[in-house]
A and B are shown apart, each in its own frame.
Chain A
């Protein structure tokens, strides 16, 4: 029994906590939770808690269905939305095989492995996500058009706005969970919000995104509305992305910074961007994993549907933000494809490895794109060598299936499970007869 574990046990006692939830994530990025009573906590720390993983996506058929959940006492938090005692606590957990080795189906392990590759090259990886989501009036009925809570626009201050109040509550609750918020504002679509998390190492950020999604959903319920991270819920309005700023550090030095380089970008940064672009189409299935994701990507405006990069170019897949003088450690690049419904562990892992591949293979960065890519004609894009990203989940998984890089990053097991699941999703989607067909085709045919 070490001090962290003792701390957890004591807190559980002192704050009259009746249940502790052990959190982990399935391959699709769904938060999974198993609740234990305080009495079970000590054995869970010592040898993990056995469970049958066969029903959880990605943990089936690994080697055997018996798995161990090993809680990480360093992540213990009391869930703030549970109110006054008796309360509920939570800890993130690692999933292990019965012999104590990490389960290949654990997305956290996938990211840790990718971080180790970076570590072996001398890099640590930091991310900073800008998470967008919608607030809808309740009830949200499956199959029906949702109604946003307000009608405001980008950065609008809404007097007495539900969203405003909502963000205040959400942020204090996030802070209570130990997650620092950088920035928050109303986004361009009605009911759309954005909250930016402070930059942190990729593993902590991915954990934080998992917590974030839960907290936002909980707060919305308290405010009698419904929060959704669906990439494109309203066809006439911009979708919700998760633009993510990435940076590599070598020890204490930002490896992306080079005084005098173009946009203060180092060679490492240029090669990293080149890697993201070269492998961009292969990894989209992971960064944008739902049928719906492609409706956002191809919805125009701020969403990137083409492989390009630019300085402050809102239509580019990779944007290089303005350098702030004297802030060499804040040098970073912004990837704009991701949406908030991704599995952050897997998404960060593929982004990182794609960029590292650029460094290893010394890819040459193509010319930057200064124009709004959406405004170019196909012929112009072709002339400029700008490739399109996959137009649908189906195309994305076909490209991913042939990617040795993605297979290597995810590991053969997750690679298989992911493809199988996504192919099923596409097949189910394709089997629909949509309102579009009923509206446009039925009257005519």
Chain B
């Protein structure tokens, strides 16, 4: 009974001490190995309590038992060699030596395993001390020397000695009160240890290859965290290898360029160099293998040389001069970011110094390189995007608010400002950050906060990696793991929850600080804020704005000053908003215009309370506004004319285009409030402007797809025509004081008829009327002609919205024909004259405004013409082909490039449309779905009916959508009436971005367009012209272009 009771109380005791599995702990404590040390009843020497204070008491206790068993057990060197008596003595009394040993055992199962294999190393943990870099290196090199390592291989000897040092570093790290305070020392020690290991591995390589070692001087340059002396416990070590022939030290950069670095090296020196590089490659390969191979003693870490010039494809070793050549010509911005941390870690110091001298000038002038801005934007996106979504929530390193985010921010600011300020050129993140604060480039307070966040994140990363010595950057999910990590950084009551909460808070903080560090100092430069803020000089502000992509930094600073100066509420809110908005402007093609329009907008709306409230509170409103203003001049200009339209951003359904009926209702209401025609029309056009802005906005933020844009633009056009027809009819009947002499309907053709309008589409219409009862035909025609004239004037004159041309040229007999006809008039005309091209134009005829009955009658009238019951005759087919062939040579404007003209170019819109329309003329009588006015719906119907191969249909659809999309994007960007791919590379870039292309890759647009059009042309030649796709090309090489005006009104 007593035994049972004691056992029960012992378990409770162990639980109180902090053990997670008290029963198992109890039996472990009773292990013979602990006899005389562990006292489960009273714990007089405090050993069990001390174990209970470690991060994971259960792991610590198990590790301790295994250590003691191994130290005293068979197969090892024995009690004396392992100083077992001394170990028991240390464990038996409270003190720093015991604390350090237990701390290691409680935080790292992997180091516990090491102690079991090498029990004598307990003293290294217990007596852990600080080493300088040189003595660490000497110690490891000694350990791998043949005299010391004996029979052990160099690689094994290196691993054992390395872990002994790791034990010391971990012991100091884990036993200190606040690991975030000592984080720099810990990281530095780890980087020094990695450098020492590289040196020792090089020494092993030299032992293996003495001949090679004699003819080369190899330096190992550490980059990344090892280079910055801020390494974590388990990490790839990024290196670059540099070699020079033995003899005089090579010159660094800035030298006079004589000797071996001349442009035409003699053949003798070339041979020397080749031999040297070959020998150094052998050494470097051996070094890498020595570090990364898995041996009986495990592995250290992979040595990663991928940051070298040309990456994995480049030679492993280069000379100083070869590196220099590469960095001058080929290197990318991110490579300079990596080089920022370069440091000689091992090998020949002189060669290393020469290398660093040579590359430094490149690093600090990287900001002047072409594409720096685009590269930085791309890098920033990479930092945020490149995380598998499954892991993003658990990532400590990557992702939003991760360690990489901090490092990136600091490095970028270093690159931008380090060019003129050498004090910023540290390879260590925290040192660099402190220097930035000291120099006034960021606010001191922000720097302190970022410093805290970084230390915490890094410490968590250290703790996670220590447990199994695995290279991971993921927060564990297992409760026991979280508890251990929480306890190891000092959380005691609910360690798992507390550590997660602290981590999440820091992530948010990092994100916020990112913007503040980048953009807020710009504001202080402009607005001269409080003393504690950053003190960015005008020159530094200029450099930073240029780096962000602003082309006119002086102008940008003036806008910032105007927006943020003053003490009123508006300025205060702008000061908080702008740092974030500057980042969004900088993501786009024209940050300057974005900022300028934002300033104008704020000038006119700044005092209205809803405006500021919207920007501050409406979630994405400010973000969308900034992106749109800096991306699209069309949208920005619409907004400038009616700043209050910005409210659309705050409306819940603001980005949902309104239907024809909704727009019409609003327009009619506005029109009714006005007395005369011009005022009424102006009111309707104000509403059109508002709707155009809404559509552009929704289009630019990708809230709606291309089809929805086309539909919405068509709806707005139809509503405007409807209202204009009403106003014109009313005005003319009032003017003539004669009543309404006829009912009128407008029939849309072309894009309007197909409900496929673009931003710059004209309204192609024909007019049909029916004389009112008792009105003679001539009077009715006169009346309608006057109405149509008035209507065209009303919508075509300059007004609040972009004016729109109402084009009547597709009517029968073209410009020579009457403006309008009656149904009977059209019937008579088509009975007599119907030409194939007219049937083709009518394919897209659709009533769009005016008298509903007339619209139906007209459509019924033309159905047999456009969908002929016997398809197309051979003669008609020949006619239509000839017509198009002639058009291709005649209609293209002088000087236009036939490859890139959207509408008339090869593989352009008219190729696709004519091909589809031909299929409609031929088959609509047997395939009812082809009787549609939409180009895409007809194409789909043709594919469905197997009139066209799916692959060909896909080619035509892609070409048509791309040409339509580029034309729309060109209008949004700024180019009015662009009919070909833009000539200017900057314009191409801006348009490409609107279409979703990456920054600085405008040339891709041309490449893509030409490819797609080339394919569409091949399909057109096959399907429209009837060429055999496999037959050789028979066109004459240069088409003789005949001059003279073609008959307008074809194929629109």
Contacts and interface: CB of A to CB of B under 8 A. Distances in A.
* A and B assemble together: yes
A119 to B, nearest CB: 5
Given A4-B257, A424-B1037, A61 B313 contact: no
A63 B985 contact: yes
Contacts of A407: 1011, 1014
B532 interface: no
A104 B1007 contact: yes
A327 interface: no
B328 interface: yes
B36 interface: no
Contacts of A123: 313
A222 B258 CA distance: 33
A371 interface: no
Nearest to A94: B329
A99 B263 contact: no
Contacts of A98: 985
A187 B260 CA distance: 38
Interface SS majority for chain A:
helix
A430 B120 CA distance: 91
Interface in A1-38: 2-4, 6-8, 10-11
B1003 A104 contact: yes
A412 B1037 contact: no
Interface in A151-188: 178
B281 interface: yes
B312 A122 contact: yes
Interface string A98-128: 1111001000000000000001001110000
Interface in B296-316: 310-313, 315-316
Nearest to B263: A76
A74 B1006 contact: no
Contacts of A101: 370, 985, 1003
A398 interface: yes
Of A398, A401, A412, A424, most B-chain CB atoms within 10 Å: A412
A427 B361 CA distance: 56
A281 interface: no
A64 B1007 contact: no
B1036 A8 contact: no
A401 B985 contact: no
A412 B316 contact: no
Interface in A423-445: 423-424, 426-427
A4 B321 CA distance: 10
Interface string B995-1020: 00000000100110011001000100
A3 B261 contact: yes
A412 B263 contact: no
Contacts of A124: 313
Given A97-B985, A412-B1007, A420 B1037 contact: yes
B281 to A, nearest CB: 7
B857 interface: no
A398 B361 CA distance: 52
Nearest to B986: A99
Contacts of A64: 983-984
Interface string A394-413: 11011001100001100111
Nearest to B1029: A402
Of B255, B315, B1033, most A-chain CB atoms within 10 Å: B1033
A7 B257 contact: yes
Contacts of B253: 2-3
Contacts of B310: 119
A416 interface: yes
Interface residues of B, number: 45
Nearest to B897: A61
B1011 A4 contact: no
B1011 A412 contact: yes
A291 B45 CA distance: 99
A397 B256 CA distance: 52
Contact of B1010 (A100, A178, A413): A413
Contact of A394 (B257, B1011, B1032): B1032
A10 B253 CA distance: 17
Of A99, A104, A124, most B-chain CB atoms within 10 Å: A99
B371 A100 contact: yes
A73 interface: yes
B325 A178 contact: no
Contacts of A4: 257, 263, 325, 328
B264 interface: yes
A411 B1011 CA distance: 9
How many chain A residues sit at the interface, stated as a range, is 35 or more
B1038 A424 contact: yes
Nearest to A77: B264
A42 interface: no
Contact of A412 (B312, B983, B988, B1014): B1014
Interface in B1009-1052: 1010-1011, 1014, 1018, 1029, 1032-1033, 1036-1038
A144 interface: no
A43 B313 CA distance: 33
A328 interface: no
Contact of A423 (B312, B899, B1006, B1037): B1037
A63 B984 contact: yes
A407 B253 CA distance: 42
B1010 A401 contact: no
B985 A3 contact: no
A325 interface: no
Nearest to B1036: A427
A427 B1033 CA distance: 12
A100 B370 contact: yes
Contacts of A178: 264
Contacts of A426: 1037
B262 interface: yes
B324 interface: yes
Contacts of B370: 99-101
Interface in A68-100: 72-77, 97-100
A251 interface: yes
A252 interface: yes
Contact of A7 (B263, B1006, B1011): B263
A33 B749 CA distance: 55
Interface in B234-274: 253-258, 261-264
B1033 A63 contact: no
A427 B312 CA distance: 48
A122 B311 CA distance: 9
Contacts of B257: 3-4, 6-7, 10
B263 A74 contact: yes
Contacts of B255: 3
B660 to A, nearest CB: 40
A252 B1036 contact: no
B316 A252 contact: yes
B371 A412 contact: no
29 contacts: A3-B254, A3-B255, A6-B256, A6-B257, A10-B257, A11-B263, A63-B982, A63-B983, A63-B985, A63-B1006, A64-B983, A77-B264, A98-B985, A99-B985, A100-B370, A123-B313, A251-B312, A251-B313, A397-B1033, A398-B1032, A402-B1029, A408-B1011, A411-B1007, A412-B1010, A413-B1006, A416-B899, A416-B1010, A424-B1038, A427-B1037
Interface of B: 253-258, 261-264, 281, 310-313, 315-316, 324-325, 328-329, 361, 370-371, 897, 899, 982-986, 988, 1003, 1006-1007, 1010-1011, 1014, 1018, 1029, 1032-1033, 1036-1038
Closest 4 CB pairs of A and B: A412-B1010, A3-B257, A398-B1032, A423-B1037
Interface of A: 2-4, 6-8, 10-11, 61, 63-64, 72-77, 97-101, 104, 119, 122-124, 178, 251-252, 394-395, 397-398, 401-402, 407-408, 411-413, 416, 420, 423-424, 426-427
Given A104-B1003, A407-B1014, 19 more contacts: A3-B253, A3-B255, A3-B261, A3-B324, A4-B257, A63-B988, A63-B1006, A64-B984, A73-B263, A74-B329, A75-B263, A99-B985, A101-B985, A101-B1003, A124-B313, A252-B315, A408-B1011, A413-B1010, A416-B1010
